[in-house]
Structure 1
Amino acid sequence: MVMCIKGIHIFISVFTASLFLAVTAWLTAPDGLNPLDAILKVYTTGLGNYFGTFFFIFVLGAIFGKLTAISGAADSVASFIIGKLGEKAVIPSVVVACAILAYGGVSVFVALFTVYSMMVSMFKKANLPRRLIPVVYFAGARSFVMIMPGSPQIQNLIPMKFLGTSATAGLVPGLLTAAFQVVLVIVYLSWLFRKVKASGEGWGDDDAVASKGNVPQSTAKDKPQPHVIVALLPMLILLLVLNLLKCDPAIALFCAIVAGLIIYARYLNWKAIISNLAAGTMEGVTSLFNTAVIVGFGALVIKLPAFQESFQTIANSGMSPLMVTAIAVGALVFISGSGSGALSIAMPLIASLFPAAVVDQGALHRVANVAAMSTTPPFN
């Protein structure tokens, strides 16, 4: 976690931690797993299995996100929401715009490129400090959306693979939990902004600070954009195929991509379409690899006697299977630094320990999903 926060590449950080874990575990138990096998067999197997299992979800999701960006669809949706709510409602407008994009299947990173320039303009006019832009953005794009039933985000899709559930599993508890989190997010942000305003902190005069480095910019500002209803159609198709037709997430994403290519046709630069989709593919592969290296670390963790003993102690404590799931997933999030990584590590164990005869799988799905967002570090 410290290395990631310091900006060291995720693979170097995770591999260093994995090597340290393998060596120290071997020193404390010499007849156990030796460091060479721990890295070459356990770590790489965990990494490879995750990469293969979720390859199409990550890649197709990134391609769909790229399609919404280059067509101007994401810009259209964000501009419409923010324009309707107005600059006087900075917090709700940005949160709602980001949430709709994320729930529509646009990746967190693509949505950031879409709304960043609008957020800068709104914050500057309202004289709000630029350091709070990430807080408001992630409040909309990466909080309650990730735990809402029906969400096409990876944290809601992973439990499906192991429990045989749908994306809407645990519908009512999931919606209530998401609504509760929406209230908490809005209340907290309102309090935070009042506090900042009371202290006299504002946007500041040093605009050079905000322009250093690679500042995200929208990709479709200088060309015609689809009407907001047209822009939303492929996103709605994604949600319908995923949630009503109960198709595999990869199939739902593929259908959304085909729909996007047809519906956004007049807004696409067809001469550059292959290079743009290839760029989206590489973004998906990069995101998948970064998560897979964390899953490899988690695969190593669960092989250690200390983890096995701890997990068995929790599992046999007499607590509800839902409580066991929440604790196990939450602990692995903190250990691995990744919500999706923790789910991929924990769900095979949980699925085998708590089959449908023991606990409702929909409830298990939703609890695991919520727990995956409980202790996620800010660098994830």
Structure 2
Amino acid sequence: MAVLGIFLALGLLIFLAYKGFSVVVMAPVCALVAVLLSGMSILPSYTEIFLPNLANYLKVYFPFFLLGAIFGKAMEESGAAKAIAKAIVNKLGKERAVLAVVLSCAILTYGGISLFVVAFAVYPFAASVFKEADIPKRLLPVTIALGAFTFTMDAFPGTPQIQNSIPMKFYNTDLYAAPVVGIIATIIILCGGLAYIEWRKRTAQAKGEGYGTGHKNEPEFDENEALPSFGMSLLPLVSVLIVTLVLQKVVFPNWNIASWATQAPYNMAEGGITGTMNNWALIIGLLVGSILACLSNPKTMKVTIPKAINLGAIGSFLAILNTSSEVGFGNVIKSLPAFKSIANALIGINSNGSPLLSEAVAVNVLSGTTGSASGGMSIVLDMFGEKYMAWAAATGTSPELLHRVASMASGGMDTLPHNGAVITLLAITGLTHKQAYRDIFFITVLKTGTCFIMIFLQSFLHFV
């Protein structure tokens, strides 16, 4: 009954999230269902397990959500995100409409802009060029998803997205961990995704299907809208990458802080100093990018700078509370006696080899279950991070590989139908799951499969 309760709670959370209920409210409710069926105390599980773990995630990752949201809002309100998308779409034209949309999303995401902001910024230009090229609109969500939700989210080395920063704390790595694995995976995902979408486009057009009519949420596209220059728009994105790279690779490695950081009042764990310093680098990079985004294009800002900052800050609260609630949910489940058998099964995968396969399966399963890449990965690494590190040391597996595999696996099955980003993307484009999710699911399978392909290749070729 206890094990059944765990799966019932997981299924209930998926169903309620899919139906539009807030995860902030439903995550503790579903967790307490599992607690009740396990015969444990409900209120202590809520106050002593759920809330402390929610707060711990909030404490560690709040700066990334806050600064990322402010950065994205400043890029949106100044028109910089639109300017970048418009320049790329105009340059490549309707003949390469799919590639233009994918590259627009990829550049914005890799520059540190939130996935949700990217979808809002790119959609008007993407819809316009798809309509001009007479490409079915139902293929627009998968095209945006390929550019924003896949390789630049967690595979390509250096991406400042939260999915690539979480493993740093656990493995003492940086954003550029396992660059060869990340680059090869990026090539597979990008080429495979583009080939699939182009095939779907040609098949539809051969049957006489075009962009279609009567669509909802058709954007009001103003070709003469005042936008900042491409160069000034690109400056904040480049600054995030450069500042983070210089700090992580040049400045912080030569900064010995162990002598004072491990003492009161900081009491940092010496083994986690490198990962913490790399988190500092990303915080500083996003701060610099946010300042430049606010100041580099003041004439095109649609709102005042204080209002842009306030809107970004407010927007970050729901995102981090959703993820923190999912982490609290996962830790309640982890505390249940019945979960030990599930944990042993996950850890037992490929027990005689490297921990990569076990890690990939566990992160994929939990990310898919919670509908959150960062939430699922955080739960797994909280539970098994130390075990994976010890396992890696015993088998000669690089911590950088653990980082890259965890990051890539988190962006796999998380995009199931109840995923918040998928629901938002479909709402932005005015389409339904029935119309567009089939193709998004293919990209999900491609992304998940690529992670396991890289584990298989690495076991033979031993690259990092």
TM-score (norm 2): 0.75
Residues 2-41 of structure 1: CA deviation (Å, up to 9, x unaligned): 2222222233442332232221222xxxxxx322222222
Structure 2: 5+ residue runs without aligned partners?
Answer: 1-13, 249-277, 421-464
Counterpart residue identity of residue 21, structure 1: A
- Partner residue in 2 for 1:240: 242
Separation in 1, partners of 2:368, 2:335: 17
SS at match of 2:89: helix
Tell me whether 1:98 sits opposite 2:111 in the alignment: no
Q: How do residues 110-129 of structure 1 correspond to structure 2 at under 5 angstroms?
A: 110-129=117-136
SS at match of 1:302: helix
SS at match of 2:21: coil
The farther-off stretch of 222-231 and 17-26 is: 222-231
- Partner residue in 2 for 1:276: 308
Separation in 2, partners of 1:95, 1:8: 31
- Partner residue in 2 for 1:71: 78
- Partner residue in 1 for 2:393: 357
TM-score (norm 1): 0.90
- Partner residue in 1 for 2:283: 250
Counterpart residue identity of residue 232, structure 1: L
The farther-off stretch of 50-59 and 357-366 is: 357-366
**Structure 1's 295 and 132: CA in aligned 2 closer, same or farther, altered over 3 A?**
same
- Partner residue in 2 for 1:30: none
Separation in 2, partners of 1:86, 1:46: 49
Separation in 1, partners of 2:224, 2:58: 37
Tell me whether 1:372 sits opposite 2:404 in the alignment: no
Counterpart residue identity of residue 358, structure 2: V
Residues 202-233 of structure 1: CA deviation (Å, up to 9, x unaligned): 333324x335xxx6x78x97653222122111
Structure 1 residue 241 displacement after superposition = 1.5
Separation in 2, partners of 1:205, 1:182: 30
- Partner residue in 2 for 1:29: none
**Structure 1's 12 and 166: CA in aligned 2 closer, same or farther, altered over 3 A?**
same
Q: How do residues 146-225 of structure 1 correspond to structure 2 at under 5 angstroms?
A: 146=153, 147-207=155-215, 209-211=216-218, 224-225=226-227
Separation in 2, partners of 1:233, 1:60: 17
Separation in 2, partners of 1:304, 1:335: 17
Tell me whether 1:14 sits opposite 2:27 in the alignment: yes
Separation in 2, partners of 1:342, 1:103: 21
Instruction: Tell me if structure 1 keeps the 8 A contact 2:66–2:313.
Output: yes
SS at match of 1:298: helix
Separation in 1, partners of 2:203, 2:400: 40
Root-mean-square deviation (Å): 2.1
Separation in 2, partners of 1:12, 1:185: 36
Instruction: Tell me if structure 2 keeps the 8 A contact 1:22–1:39.
Output: no
Residues 286-326 of structure 1: CA deviation (Å, up to 9, x unaligned): 11111111111111121123332222344343231111211
- Partner residue in 2 for 1:324: 358
Deviation >6 Å, runs of 4+: none
Separation in 2, partners of 1:237, 1:8: 38
Structure 1 residue 125 displacement after superposition = 2.0
Separation in 1, partners of 2:383, 2:18: 30
Counterpart residue identity of residue 304, structure 2: A
Q: How do residues 253-268 of structure 1 correspond to structure 2 at under 5 angstroms?
A: 253-268=286-301
**Structure 1's 74 and 61: CA in aligned 2 closer, same or farther, altered over 3 A?**
same
Separation in 2, partners of 1:70, 1:206: 29
SS at match of 2:342: helix
- Partner residue in 2 for 1:82: 89
Instruction: Tell me if structure 2 keeps the 8 A contact 1:166–1:243.
Output: no
Structure 1: 5+ residue runs without aligned partners?
Answer: 27-32
